[in-house]
Structure 1
Amino acid sequence: MAEAHQAVAFQFTVTPDGIDLHLCHEALRQVYLSGLHSWKKRFIRFKNGVMTGVYPGSPAGFMVVVVSYMSYNKYRQLDPSLGLIAKLGQHIPISQYMSTDSQKIVGGVLVGTGLWVTIIMIMRNVLKSLLSWHGWMYANHGSVSWTTRIWMLLVKVFSGRKPMLYSFQNSLPRLPVPSVKDTCKRYLESVRPLMEDEQYERMKGLAKDFEKNLGPRLQWYLKLKSWWASNYVSDWWEEYIYLRGRGPIMVNSNYYAMDFLYVFPTSIQAARAGNAIHAIMLYRRKLDRAQIKPLMLLHTIPMCSAQYERMFNTTRVPGVDTGRVFPLAICERFLDITSFHSHMNESKHIVVYHKGRFYKVWMFYDGRLLLPREIEQQMERILADQSEPLPGEERLAALTAGDRTPWANARETYFGRGKNKQSLDAIEKAAFVVTLDDTEQRYDEANPVKSLDSYAKSLLHGKCYDRWFDKSFNLIVFKNGTMGLNAEHSWADAPIIGHLWEHVLSMDPVRLGYTEEGHCCGQPHPNLPGPQRLQWDISAECIEVIDSSLAVARVLADDVDSHIFPFSDFGKGLIKKCRTSPDAFIQIALQLAHYRDKGKFCLTYEASMTRLFREGRTETVRSCTVETCAFVRAMIRDETREERLKLLKVAAEKHQNMYRLAMTGEGIDRHLFCLYVVSKYLGEDSAFLKEVLSEPWRLSTSQTPLQQVELFDLVRHPEYVSSGGGFGPVADDGYGVSYIIVGENLINFHISSKHSSPETDSHRFGANIRQSMLDILDLFQLDKKTK
């Protein structure tokens, strides 16, 4: 590109008269401003580290404690050091250098500091004990007991004032390890409606044998880990469920988030990218400074913030497969035998992909973040570039979409040196990746089904080579200004990226805004250096690997049957009038829809978070229960309304109780998974664990929560909120269902399955979900109650 030039800080030539030195003052100025920015960032990180390390204490609290302590001792005529200075004087000649008054001041400060630290440690441990109580979750909806009120008041008292993002990390309790007996009991209860009597009795025997023999031995190791590690699940979950997988992460692991459904702020691609990128970088600045408020349930109970740490500057790097599922020696964990995350503390650039070409775009100039109109200017330059992709460049990202082992080998063989390494480093060290997509995606009222399905598939996999699927997330901006995200799953769960996305959507059309012509507000920069085109030297052998990965990815992408539909007949407003949990209502409707769709029940996965504990991620709620199945059968047999309503309430209460157990560390699936990991480390085979972990999740569900309601005016503008996101099917013959409750009157469903399965059809399942939602609501006869 003509605009892609480099500023040279100095030049010199040797002449007969000596060395002629030419300095470029503008380049030196930029070097100075860049260094200043880096040092400011380091200072802020250091300050935040100190503030977080002493929380719930504070510098103001330190001054209060020390001054109060010294004033009290002065009033009582006591030695403020309590004899400490005198004892030190026996070994150190303090009196030679300090007066008596100075010794008193120093002693008072030292003892006051010790008192301040003691108070902090007491507050932390009391808060940790308080947060270990979860009785508040079992209160009846709409009523709060005096016990819970007193508990919440104590939590607020010991939580301190003005917490930062990571302030509560040291005060969160550790995830408890359930007993083997309880886990086996709950497991058998969960599979009872899915097994015939003979099969169930066999599984019951395996569970009892495990509980009596191997289970206690494995449990001992888990207990030991729970005392030593911050969380006994999370590191193994990340490594064995995500990083050691050898299959494609596109569709199978990555997920997507959508734009507004009915609002189109601008149709100018570069302008939408300018506002979105600027909003994302502002969020990163707040994240670096720990200025994001920690998520608090009921505005009181803190949740773990550890997953935010790798949101930016992070890439999943493939490792070479050794053919082993589990390591045989601890030392192997340090070898390059599996995937890992490459994370940079700081990155000042992003990488943009457009029509087969990669560009490095700096996000800072003159020591400040680029403004939206300046970012739009950079995007315009990329869109105007008419140069052709280099050989192999256009489909290079297909390596991240196919199987992991070929990508790992290709990365080691073809990208270890020269310009290929430099360009790959630019991508992997970027804050995030942006794709300026050359297709148009948008909700079309004239063709809502086809337009939304196409939009979802484009975000989920695109052309299989126009998203860098290893990156923590890709921002995709389409030709007509619609946008969305594609996120890699291993570094964090969906609510974390959802928190960022809510920030972006709340800023984009309202706070940042656009001109009447649809451009970003502000003016282009007259001297802004242009984007830098990344250079590649890709061999014919490497291109063959790229084509092979692309072929694998295309088969997977073409098989995805995606269906998104907005359910606008009613929302959580009417569901609450039924005195039922909206999530329980929807989950029971999904069970009814699935039975109508396939004529049978299946093992069902609903994601629940465990972020009430330190470094908690997710737990499984097994939504297909005995009680839910009884309700579904009653609906199918068309029993009396009173009987169906009674069974519905029992099923909803059962679901809520299971959700509470999952959130409070009493779930079964993560415990069973970790027991299995320990058994493999010990070289022990368990028929019980093997069967449990091989059972397929034919219905995998997840709710996308709206976490920052205060950012959106859902009463006057319910359309100004994300339409949610989705993921691919977990089982080849199953469904993936994601849903988001938007305001009081809208629920968006995202359904996925595979065309290759004769048992599934996403559109058919969507129709069954809609009918099931209406049928369950009809049981309450709210229209008659209103009359």
Structure 2
Amino acid sequence: MAEAHSAVAFSFAITHDGWDVNFDREVLYLVWESGIRSWKKRLARFRNSVHNGVYPGHLQSLYFLWTVLVAAHFGGVNIPFGLVQKALTVLPSTSPMWQVIACLLAALTMWLSVIFFMRYLLKLLLMYKGWMYESRGPGSRLSMKTVLWASVVKVLSGWNKPRLYSFQGSLPRLPLPAVRDTMRRYLLSVRPLLDDENYARVERLAQEFEQTIAVKLQRYLVLKSWWSSNYVSDWWEEYVYLRGRSPLMVNSNFYGTDTLLRPTGVQAARAATVIYFCLKFRRLIERQELEPIMLQGMVPLCSWQYERIFNTVRVPGVETDRLVHYSDATHVTVSHRGRFYKMLISARGRLLNPAEIQLQIQQILDDAVPAEEGEVRLAALTAGERTHWAHVRQTHFNRGHNRTSLHCIERAAFHVCLDDIEYGFDEADSSKLDQYGRILLHGNGADRWFDKSFNLCFSTNGSVGFNTEHTWADAPVMGHLWEYVIWSELEYGYDAAGNARGAVEAAPPAPARLRWELSAPLLAAIDQSYAVAQALLRDVDLRILMYTPYGKGFMKSCRVSPDAYIQMALQLAYYRDAGRFCLTYEASMTRLFREGRTETVRSCTLESSAWVRSMLDENATVEQRMNLFVKATRRHQLGYQDAMAGRGIDRHLFCLYVVSKYLELESPFLQEVFNEPWRLSTSQTPLGQTNLLDLKKYPKCVSAGGGFGPVADDGYGVSYIIVGEDTIFFHVSSKISCPITSSSNFAKQIERSLQDVRELFNEYNKLRNGVKKAK
């Protein structure tokens, strides 16, 4: 009862002496503060909406134009098209005041006409993708068409400072490829994987599909591409992510690691500072003060995914999950040794500073009250099967403490995990790096709230990492947040003892322990999810390789795209490991288009397979191998450019498949396409998306990247990041239960392949230099 009374702002009672009114000033102040905060956010959103709605124009230009028209009108100068006189005909008077208003209407008409012309001109210009295909190497020259295009885009996008969502209305829609083009590209992509007989069979299925039901399916996609902002993204989110019934842990969520340079060894201080700068990033998003990512400094990427970084949760459903985003959150939730806490992040109208947050974190670490029975494994519900979690949520979390505590976690800005074990980067011991990745990927199966948009995980030695739910966004968006946090933390620093900096004017709000009602049926349900999670994480074979013989510096000296270089090495490594080629997935972005997410680059091509065979052919000469390597990398780069330009294969085939299911039309060709597993799933972790990180000044202020679980039961998941000039990290995952895969062996094959490619270039350069000397 005491807790209930403390939550009441005021109360009154009628007595013999009259009215008896009691009120709590502190609670009333919190109510007032909440209202002020809400109205400030509404006002900021309105201002941002106006700014973005008229971008690339500016309201100041309207005021200037209005002033000019007023001066011209009263100076006897004729206004173009007689706009002022036409406005006066509909106004109630011709007095000077109404003439000024008529000038405003004329200025508004002229200004809006110019604004909409500029917006649509920018949209038309951004549809041009020819600049992507032009070489920018030494000695290369851009075409006059691209130079003129770039000049106009630079003027339109650069004269008024853009906000985060300023370009959303000017971004073009993702183009819908023709079925014929997709079929041609698909057949080329599978040719190196099939013998003549099987290829002829697939070719026949593709021709039948193209000439029959594909025509009908494409018509529906044409309508969707006209009607929706992006014909892929909503279906991709629903059918690839939300309708998946398997556990999020390992299968969907991905992780990211700390910097190589750990700035402090104090867990509470590191947690407080990282939390603080995450919240600062959230404020930049809310106020739209975060600059959008722009390629070449002028071509914007879609910022749609940023809105859901914070205050977001994936809510389980029986048949499909829901992604719920809350407009605001004034707290984060924290878990430590199986206990859950609500931690307020603001007080007295401001965000708490790192020193104040450290006091809150330390209170949680010092709390000696143990977790309740079953509370330690409670988070395993988010790690198990989705349908089971949905039933449990509906049955046991619909009332009382369970409902209140669950909503507190789901509405939090994000979730924080204070681990009671030590992990982190250790250059001298690779096994610790593997353990680090496993802890971030799945923990112990019950110490991460996998439904939240992201979890921050802190080691006892101050190392940090994150685990991210994949539905709401892709890795580059989380990478942008991480770059901001890493750099801001380094600039802000810690005191001499490694504690967080900042003045503590008053004691911050104490964290509140979340309470649960853990009945016997609920405990049984938790154990069921925990058993699923344990079986899943015990089957993960994760190996993190730190490759230091060379990096981006050598690859660029070869005048080859670093990404294409590594993809060729991966093809060679897989062929040596498995004795065959396989369908290879590399993620590419489509954020040059509105609400764009990803597209697949099929890295195994006719050109790459020819080069791999030459590397294993003892009779092949160095010149032959080098020529084939150059052709393979150029073909890969073209495929990557096509994917970014909306000319990919797999998203189009995916949408055709979805329409066929809606129409209940069976297609042997589409069944063939989606039955083939991606045995090699790869992704490059982005680095240096912003200009914040100064790697020359702080060479070790970079993350070791992140990784994900294997996509196929008999395949590998490979994530890599090119760190500086001489380091590459590879995160290799597979399943222990598969007898033909081994992450350690595959990592060794990657090392061997990278060494062989370098030797190929060195031998080729020796031969070329020898020929020059002979001449």
TM range, smaller chain = over 0.9
Distance in 1 (alpha carbons) for counterparts of 2:200 and 2:304: 42
AA aligned to 2:254 is: Y
1:591: Cα distance to partner? 0.2
Indicate yes or no: 2:686 matched with 1:705: yes
Per-residue deviation, residues 413-455 of structure 1 (Å, max 9, x unmatched): 11111211111100100000000011110223442x2101100
1:540 match:
520
Distance 1:710 1:296 in 2: 11
The 3-state SS of whatever aligns with 1:705 is coil
Which residue does the alignment assign to 1:222? Answer: 221
Determine if contact 2:600/2:643 at 8 Å carries over to the other structure.
Answer: yes
Instruction: Map residues 170-185 of structure 1 onto 2, 5 A cutoff.
Output: 170-185=169-184
Q: Partner of 1:63 in structure 2?
A: 63
Change (3 A) 1:218 1:724: same
Deviation track 1:591-635 (CA, whole Å, cap 9, x = no partner) reads 001111111110000000000000000000000000000000000
Match of 2:486 in 1: 505
What are the within-5 Å matches in structure 2 for residues 131-530 of structure 1? 131-142=126-137, 143=140, 144-159=142-157, 160-261=159-260, 263-321=261-319, 338-447=320-429, 449-508=430-489, 510-530=490-510
CA offset at residue 709 of structure 1?
4.7
* 1:781 counterpart residue number: 762
Match of 2:697 in 1: 716
Classify the secondary structure of the residue corresponding to 2:712.
coil
* Alignment partners' CA distance in 1, 2:706 and 2:329: 27
Q: Secondary structure at the match of 2:734?
A: strand
Q: Is the 8 A contact 1:174 1:230 kept in 2?
A: yes
Distance apart, 1:16 and its partner CA:
5.4
Aligned partner of residue 466 in structure 2, secondary structure? strand
Q: Pick from 761, 770, 783: which aligns with 2:742?
A: 761
State the distance in 2 between where 1:545 and 1:500 align. Answer: 35
2:502 counterpart SS class:
coil
What letter matches 1:283 in structure 2?
Answer: F
Mapped partners of 1:178, 1:402: distance in 2: 38
The offset of 1:10, in angstroms, is 4.5
How far residue 70 of structure 1 moved from its aligned partner, in angstroms, is 3.9
Question: What is the TM-score of this pair, normalised by structure 2?
Answer: 0.95
Could you tell me how far 1:342 is from its partner in structure 2? 1.3
Shift of 1:111: 1.8
**Residue 562 (structure 1) aligned to one of 542, 552, 560:** 542
Any idea what the Cα deviations from partners look like across 1:22-54, whole Å, max 9, x if unmatched?
A: 544444334333332222222111111111111
CA displacement at 1:124 relative to structure 2? 0.9
Aligned partner letter, 2:475: A
3-state DSSP class of the match of 2:357?
helix
Identity of aligned residues (%): 53
Choose which of 572, 575, 580 in structure 2 pairs with 1:592.
572
Q: How far off its partner does 1:388 sit?
A: 1.9
In 2, Cα distance between equivalents of 1:468 and 1:126: 46
Q: Distance in 2 between matches of 1:747 and 1:666?
A: 30
Deviates more, 1:523-532 or 1:113-122: 523-532
Partner Cα distance (2:27, 2:521) in 1: 41
Which residue does 2:773 correspond to in 1? Answer: none
Contact persistence 1:728–1:752 (CA under 8 A)? yes
The answer to whether residue 648 in structure 2 is matched with residue 667 in structure 1 is yes
State the 1:185 CA deviation.
Answer: 0.6
**Within 5 Å, which residues of 2 pair with 1:7-86?**
9-10=9-10, 17-75=17-75, 77-78=77-78, 81-86=83-88
Summarize deviations over 1:80-121 as a string: whole Å, max 9, x none: 5344235425xxxx13xxx43223222111121011111111
> What is the deviation of 1:391?
3.2
Q: Helix, strand or coil for the counterpart of 2:543?
A: strand
CA contact (8 A) 1:4 1:531 kept: no
Q: Give 1:76 shift.
A: 5.0
Structure 1 contact 718–742 (Cα < 8 Å) conserved = no
Q: Higher mean Cα deviation, 6-15 or 561-570? A: 6-15
Q: Offset at 1:710?
A: 2.1
**CA distance, structure 2, for counterparts of residue 34 and residue 373 of structure 1:** 23
The alpha-carbon deviation at position 392 of structure 1 amounts to 2.7
**Residue 359 to residue 102, structure 1, CA distance change in 2 (3 Å):** same
Shift of 1:542: 1.3
Deviations 1:646-676 (A, max 9, x none): 0000000000100010000000000000000
Q: 775-784 vs 387-396, which deviates more? A: 775-784
Question: How big is the shift at 1:726?
Answer: 0.4
Counterpart of 1:171, as a letter, is S
In structure 2, what is the Cα distance between the partners aligned to 1:622 and 1:698? 12
AA matched with 1:41: K
RMSD, matched Cα: 2.0
Counterpart contact for 1:3–1:530, Cα < 8 Å: no
Q: CA deviation at 1:156?
A: 1.3
**Deviation for aligned residue 1:367:** 0.7
Task: Tell whether the 8 Å contact from 2:357 to 2:508 is kept in structure 1 after alignment.
Answer: no
Give SS of 1:353's match: strand
| Residue 110 (structure 1) aligns with | 105
SS of match in other structure, 1:81: helix
CA distance, structure 2, for counterparts of residue 340 and residue 540 of structure 1? 28
Question: 1:5–1:529: 8 Å Cα contact kept in structure 2?
Answer: no
Of 618, 641, 646, the residue aligned with 2:622 is: 641
Indicate the residue corresponding to 1:734 in structure 2: 715
Query: 2 CA distance for matches of 1:532 and 1:735?
Result: 43
Match of 1:564, SS state, is strand
Distance across 2 between alignment mates of 1:314 and 1:399: 18
